[in-house]
Amino acid sequence: MAKVYYDRDADLAFLNGKTVAVIGYGSQGHAHAQNLRDSGAKVIIALHEGSKSKAKAEADGFEVYTVQEAAKLADLIMFLMPDHMQADIFKNQVLPNMKPEAKLLFAHGFAVHFGQIVPPASHDVFMVAPKGPGHMVRAMYKEGKGVPCLIAIYQDASGKAKEFALAYASAIGGGRAGIIETTFREETETDLFGEQAVLCGGVTELMQQGFKTLVEAGYQPEMAYFECINEMKLIVDMIFEGGMSWMRYSISDTAKYGDMTAGPRVIGEESRKAMKQLLTEIQDGTFARDWILENQTGRPRMKKWAKAAQEAPCEAVGKELRKMMPWMEQKEVPKF
Ligand code: NDP
Ligand code: MG
Ligand code: MG
């Protein structure tokens, strides 16, 4: 089992007299910046020209600089802009301007682990990654609680990288919940695998194939949508709250018997092989290479896929059904 650190293991004094530049003021950025400030750290925000979030950062009382300016001022530089942009911003705006001993912080390991960012050896490089969305990181902090956090040390030039990582994690509230140490490799590879095989790729394809099977067999699409897509939330909520055992304790015995007999048939040998193959392609860099290339060429495959995915038959059915649910805010997704 992983070792867990708490506030008592962290010393916020490591942040005394230091300036933290948070690059980006989105989901994670606004939460880190405000929690750090409330914990006593000096925080500045770095954003690009014409940034949509600049007004929000200023309204929240922060000084907003360009990335170049902020890099000159900062002792700790936290990268909280989209992952695929980090390498370019590092190379062109941070690297030429940063102090010789500035610490480089990340909330996800992709750019560093896959060699998109190669930090000079004289800099501490570490990760502080809350295991929750930014609004939760901020809301929990305000309630005196926190969201569990990961830390990982990639480069320890000062000999104190871990102390700084623990101090930062504690300052954003992670030490109230628990801080787990990992590595850039483990965080990056498990994150990619989880979203591909299970959370995003796996789950949406499972739902859609279930929906399709019922509709092709002549059942009403509304029934198929409820049974194979909409009700996923009820099951996942129970797993989230008390594990699979709690979910199984709550469902009918008939559902449990079906769970037992059908699960391993749907996710059979072929799927298990595909999962191992996905992991291999994550580990050997094939996935990272493909994704970087896709970005460099203007995302042609993603654009085509996103349009088709938005037009999938289940999406229109779900939209109509949600109008029958007055407690739900009706979402409008921008068209591709
Ligand atoms: P968001 O997409 O929510 O925020 C992006 C921010 O970066 C915006 O403020 C955006 O400004 C700004 N930005 C865009 N381009 C630039 C630029 N060229 N220079 C400076 N700033 C720029 O990102 P997230 O908070 O979701 O993700 C940040 C990091 O945190 C990523 O590494 C991600 O993997 C990691 N992470 C995210 C989690 C999450 O729940 N979202 C959880 C854990 C880790 P504008 O408003 O103008 O677009
Ligand atoms: Mg993840
Ligand atoms: Mg991810």
Q: Is 84 a residue of the active site?
A: no
Query: 312 phi and psi, to 5 degrees?
Result: -60, 140
Cβ proximity of 10 and 165 under 8 Å: no
Q: Which domains does the chain have, with CATH numbers?
A: 4-182 (3.40.50.720), 192-322 (no CATH)
From 231, 199, 225, select the one nearest 213 (Cα to Cα): 225
204-222 pLDDT per residue, tens: 999 999 999 999 999 999 9
The mean pLDDT values, 10 residues at a time, for the chain of 336 residues are: 94 98 98 98 97 98 98 98 95 98 97 97 97 97 98 98 98 98 97 97 98 98 98 98 98 98 97 98 97 95 95 96 93 83
Tokens of 178: 């628990």
Q: Given this model, what pLDDT does residue 182 score?
A: 97
Cβ proximity of 24 and 79 under 8 Å: yes
Ligand 1 neighbours, Cβ below 6 Å, are 23-29, 46-48, 51-53, 67, 80-83, 85, 89, 107-108, 129-130, 133-134
Among 32, 48, 84, 108, the active-site one is 108
Query: 252 phi and psi, to 5 degrees?
Result: -70, 160
Distance, CA 283 to ligand 3 centroid (Å)? 15
Q: Given this model, what pLDDT does residue 1 score?
A: 81
Q: Given this model, what pLDDT does residue 29 score?
A: 98
Cβ proximity of 6 and 178 under 8 Å: yes
Angle between helices 269-283 and 184-193 (to 10 degrees): 140
Tokens of 131: 């295991």
* ipTM given for this complex: 0.98
Angle between helices 27-38 and 161-171 (to 10 degrees): 90
Q: Given this model, what pLDDT does residue 2 score?
A: 86
